[in-house]
Structure 1
């Protein structure tokens, strides 16, 4: 039987604009997606879903979630601390760095249980509002 990971991307309202450092933002998304892929690796067709949607004047929400085992409840409070990992190997720096990047963009990175069954990480970037003509 084939094993693999299906990554579904559903990004809406692509005309919306947010203020973000492109390189840092790519690093943050890369870290979240890599963790999600690692969480479902080795299973028959693990699922990773990346969604983006406008929240109007509140910003643009990004969610990265998977159907893996999720994060144990006893680790939820400290999952963003440096040197914390649920993996057999790794240094436990990825989520700490990701959180710092997201916070440097005046956003908050949250973690919870995904409707898919695994972990869900989300954050909301502030919109760039058009300046009124003087």
Structure 2
């Protein structure tokens, strides 16, 4: 899309399915070839999905670090982190959310906000 004089890439992600991160990498490569100035990730009405994809997708935008903590029924806490030390896309990023964004989409949006990596815009999730 063109906003003013800027080309902006928009990725609509309806759910966090296995293989999403690989698909997003392909789309980001296409957008970079089109010389977009920024990327919008649209998570509106995204009900979530695979937690592993929320972690790996987050890893495309941050160098490394914890993404989420999960507590099991016994109270044991596990931390899922991005550990590769690489950032796939370094440009400006906006994440759109709404009241129907849930689960893995909330985790991704929160990670982007916590790391100061994206502006999160929309309704409370």
TM-score relative to the length of structure 1: 0.27
| Max Rg structure | 1
